[in-house]
Amino acid sequence: MSIHYDPTNLAAAMAGSAHGITPDEVEKAAPRAAAALAGFRRSFEEGRYGFPALPFDKPVISSIAGFAKSVAGTFDTVCVVGIGGSAPGAWALDCGLRGPHPVQKAHSAKNPRLVILDNVDPVFIGNALASMNPKRTIVVPIAKSGATAETMATFLIVQAWLKEALGARKALKHIAVVTSESRGDLKQFASANKLPTFHLPDNVGGRFSVLSAVGLLPAALAGFDIKKLCRGAAAMSQLCWSRDLNANMALRSALHHYLVWTLRKKSIQVMFPYSNNLWGVAFWFRQLWAESLGKAKNRKGKTVHVGQTPVAALGATDQHSQVQLYIEGPNDKVFTFLAAGKWPAAGKIPKAKTGYDSFDYLAGQSLAKLIDAERLATAAALTANGRPNCTITVERLDEASLGALLQFFEFQTAFMGELLDIDAFDQEGVELGKRFTFGLMGRAGYETYLEEFRAYEAQRAGVKL
């Protein structure tokens, strides 16, 4: 396995007894971890949650790969229209395998770029459309419900943009849809217009969908090997079902983070990749962790208001913007470093001496050595100040490793939900805002929410502070 988990700096022996956890605490909680594994395995086998099965679904993977191959070379841009769980997974894959924008190599029919329209900022959407050639763009609207307001609004604009340039019939040849199989207006639109359509299983939520068509279709269209991606994820899945706590790194890490959180009151987790390619993973993880674990009630219906706030920081950049807070501010955080094991290029520093000490000690070394030293030094400084942290190392930044890493985090999140006795797969807290939006935009059936919003506005009008 190309993913390695090092929890050493979570230990009380390193971070101090007030902030780290002890082997005795881990051993005492091991039966709870075993129960979490058994509980999630039971829910999976009952068909309640489906993400563990995604990398094993060869017919779906092959159909996506086959479609991507059939249209390869006919476009230079893949335009994803989606929000929430429909967007960050595709970006995490693209960023992980090609690096963040704008430092990717020039896009072409052989190297299509990925443009993700994940917000309804009108300036952003206008600029994105202006940057793309409709004749060379394939558009992928993604919405599980088939009714997400932001996605539908943006898609209507993008569809009109295609029609204006290509005509109505040709425009349809530039659209492939990802949505639910049995519900939603997007599905009906796709069926009515005979569009290529790929389905998201009902038992897979958006934030757990990166290894479904939600992430795989954009990845395949961008030229990535999704079969390798899924093989890496499948290998991780097999490890994640192990009852051996030492072999099952997702369960072990979930248990460690559960103990640090609940026993040492670390209510914030900082995801700290020391690789620009892994920056997208940090943003993807932020939604996964926040939306899965932020819950008002546990499974018994008791009000708990549980949740650990995820923060994304980029090493070494954010050593110069956030680490001052992390070292000397409130000790309410746990840190997860993401490390690159093998850099594809070292970034050699010239050997020539200049006579300036701040230059010359670096001569002949490399950027790879420097960024690794920055990460190790930051971990050591945090630990010395009683700030618990762990490190996940990704040996190679390739499809198989990235698939394994994403599957690791999804299992870790599922296990954490079991440990907290909450439903990590619902999202009731998001729904009221959606309903208010529907009411404000005049959607039929949501008039009650419009009235509630008007009452809220009336209350605001009478408040002074």
* DSSP 8-state assignment for residue 333: E
Is 434 an active-site residue? yes
d(CA 202, CA 47): 10
The one catalytic residue in 320, 328, 351, 457 is 320
The one catalytic residue in 187, 257, 295, 434 is 434
CA angle at 43 for the pair 41 and 48, rounded to the nearest 5°:
135
d(CA 18, CA 401): 35
Show the DSSP H helices in 16-148 as ranges.
23-45, 58-71, 88-98, 122-131
* DSSP 8-state assignment for residue 245: T
The one catalytic residue in 174, 257, 291, 399 is 291
Provide the 3-class DSSP secondary structure of residue 347: coil
d(CA 27, CA 23): 6
Nearest to 197 by CA among 207, 188, 210, 205: 188
The structure tokens listed for 314 are 């980029």
Q: What does the buried/exposed string (b/e) look like for 380-399 if buried means 16 or more CB atoms within 10 Å of the residue's CB?
A: eebbeebbbbbbbebeebbb
Is 291 an active-site residue? yes
Q: What does the buried/exposed string (b/e) look like for 277-299 if buried means 16 or more CB atoms within 10 Å of the residue's CB?
A: bbbbbbbbbbbbbbbbbbbeeee
CA distances from 291 to 271, 277, 280, 404, 420 (A): 16, 23, 17, 21, 14
Q: DSSP E strands: which ranges in 192-242? A: 197-199
Q: Give the largest CA-CA distance in the chain.
A: 75
Cβ atoms 10, 256 nearer than 8 A: yes
Cβ atoms 244, 30 nearer than 8 A: no
d(CA 126, CA 147): 22
Provide the 3-class DSSP secondary structure of residue 210: coil
Residues known to be catalytic:
291, 320, 434
